[in-house]
Amino acid sequence: MTEPGTPVGAVAERATAGFRQRYGTEPAGRWAAPGRVNLIGEHTDYNDGFVLPFALPLRTVVAAAPQDGERWTVWSELADSPVEFGAAEADQRGRVTGWAAYVAGVVWALRAAGHRVPGARLAIASDVPVGSGLSSSAAIEAATLAALVDLGGLDLTDDRRPRLAQRAENEYVGAPTGIMDQSAVIRCRAGHALFLDCRTESVEQIPFDLDAAGLAVLVIDSRAPHRHADGEYASRRKSCERAAELLGVAALRDVSPNDLDAALDRLDDEEMRRRVRHVVTEDQRVLDTVALLRAGRIRDIGPLLTASHASMRDDFEITVPEIDTAVEAALAAGAYGARMTGGGFGGCVLALVDADAAESVAAAVTAAYAERGFPAPTHVTVLPTGGAHRLT
Ligand code: ADP
Ligand code: MG
């Protein structure tokens, strides 16, 4: 079997080498944060519902050391040159732009919460693909946050970190995202998925030991161009909010699956009915998945994953031909279940497979792509890992 994901040692080495080369000294430490993938629960977050992400063995590593004054210098192997900013730029939202805004946003959020953030030099390397929906943004935020908290000896427990990283992204970078990504990359544990209630923000570790069961998750990057994803996301969100209003509930999470038919009868718009059906049934699929995992029945979640995909395809209408092709090919090649993961209109597909079948399932997907004339997809086989931490 190939090593799932990529080893943290290699990416940490690149961050360290970048730090030495850029700053001519040794870093004081290195901090890693993973990407994440959502096992099930799509478009449920902004409906106050449930999600179930797990952390990927693909990581962003920040090598860092303190520097005098309130100055921050950041370099990333993905960028041409380092970016420097001081307290004035950090304190004014949006002043630092581009990729470095994710780092400046963390400094801003910490300072806004009253922390004394130490000046620092940072060098960043990453194996998390950027913009594929595996949350490289939360990974860079979480690794930066862990580094600054440790360097400054700041008092910020793990349960308070996701909110802070989310504020960095929402308010400094200006990207509207829910709390899932930051919660996952900070709070996930190895061998577990993170059951997150998006209304209360409470989390629970759910056993998901793929390795012990001889299983793995194959993550396929569809490489489909994100077609109108922003506008489509906004219209889905609006439709859900309007439906909740019409039904007289705070959010669609409050519609019980038992009352779904009655609720749908009260809506005139056929499209809106389908949107509601997706959200309500998807919340229930997350709960059913959690129940099966608690009972140690990992293989049995396969049909729920596949049903989630059908619901996204037919009711929420957020899949694209590349994505549907990958799901169908994975299932035909023996996956226990497969679904698109992420907001839709591109991004990744995940498939639950026997660990020793991962490569043959991936090959079947690649062949199906070739047949349809799509550009070849990429893939990685993963096991659930832990959240952000300091490397020794
Ligand atoms: P995703 O989180 O799905 O990967 P986003 O659009 O939310 O996609 O975040 C991607 C952005 O985050 C990049 O365009 C870049 O600005 C920033 N980013 C993520 N990782 C890095 C990195 N290692 N170095 C520099 N910038 C990064
Ligand atoms: Mg992101």
CA distance 147 to 29: 8
Question: How confident is the model over 100-122, as a mean pLDDT?
Answer: 98
Question: Which residue type, as a one-letter code, is found at position 368?
Answer: A
Pick the closest to residue 1 from 336, 365, 354, 297 (CA basis): 354
- Partners of 123 in the β-ladder: 63, 75
Domain boundaries, the chain: 8-207+386-390, 215-382
pLDDT digits (tens, 9 = 90+) for 281-300: 999 999 999 999 999 999 99
**Total H helices, total E strands in the chain:** 12, 13
Active site residues: 181
Q: What percent of the chain has pLDDT over 90?
A: 93
Predicted pLDDT of residue 292: 98
- Distance from CA of residue 141 to its chain's centroid? 12
Q: Which residues fall within 8 angstroms of residue 350, CB to CB, at 6 or more apart?
A: 37, 39, 217, 218, 219, 220, 305, 338, 339, 341
pLDDT band at 3 (very low <50, low <70, confident <90, very high): low
Residue 116 has pLDDT above 70, yes or no: yes
Judge contact between 133 and 35, C-beta under 8 A: no
Same fold for the pair 8-207+386-390 and 215-382: no
Minimum mean pLDDT range among 44-48, 171-175, 230-234: 230-234
Return d(Cα 349, Cα 372) in angstroms, integer: 17
Q: Are 89 and 137 in contact (CB under 8 A)?
A: no
Task: Give the chain's radius of gyration (CA, Å).
Answer: 21
What contacts 24, CB < 8 A, 6 or more positions away? none
- Of 102, 124, 172, 177, the one to substitute when testing ligand 1's pocket (max ligand atoms within 8 A of C-beta) is 102
Average model confidence (pLDDT) across the chain: 96
Q: Would you give the DSSP letter of residue 385? A: B
Over 80: is that where the pLDDT of 2 sits? no
pLDDT of residue 229: 80
Locate all alpha helices (DSSP H) within the chain, ordered by sequence: 8-23, 87-91, 101-112, 136-152, 161-167, 180-187, 229-247, 260-265, 270-294, 302-314, 321-332, 358-372
The arithmetic mean of pLDDT across residues 124-147, rounded, is: 96
Rounded Cα–Cα distance for residues 146 and 33 (Å): 9
Q: Which fold has domain 215-382?
A: Alpha-Beta Plaits (3.30.70)
Structure tokens that stand for 175 in this block:
């990207």
The yes or no reply on domain 8-207+386-390 and CATH 3.80.10.10 is no
The 10s digit of each residue's pLDDT in 50-76 is: 999 999 999 999 999 999 999 999 999
Instruction: Give the residue, out of 140, 145, 173, 340, with the most ligand 1 atoms within 8 A of its beta carbon, to mutate for a pocket test.
Output: 140
Residues present in the chain in total: 392
* CA 134 to ligand 2 centroid distance, Å: 7
d(CA 90, CA 66): 17
Tens-place pLDDT, residues 297-338? 999 999 999 999 999 999 999 999 999 999 999 999 999 999
Q: Which atom of ligand 1 is nearest to the CA of 129?
A: 4
Contact 208, 190 (CB under 8 A): no
What's the pLDDT band for 4 if we cut at 50, 70, 90? confident
Confidence of residue 225 (pLDDT cuts 50, 70, 90): confident
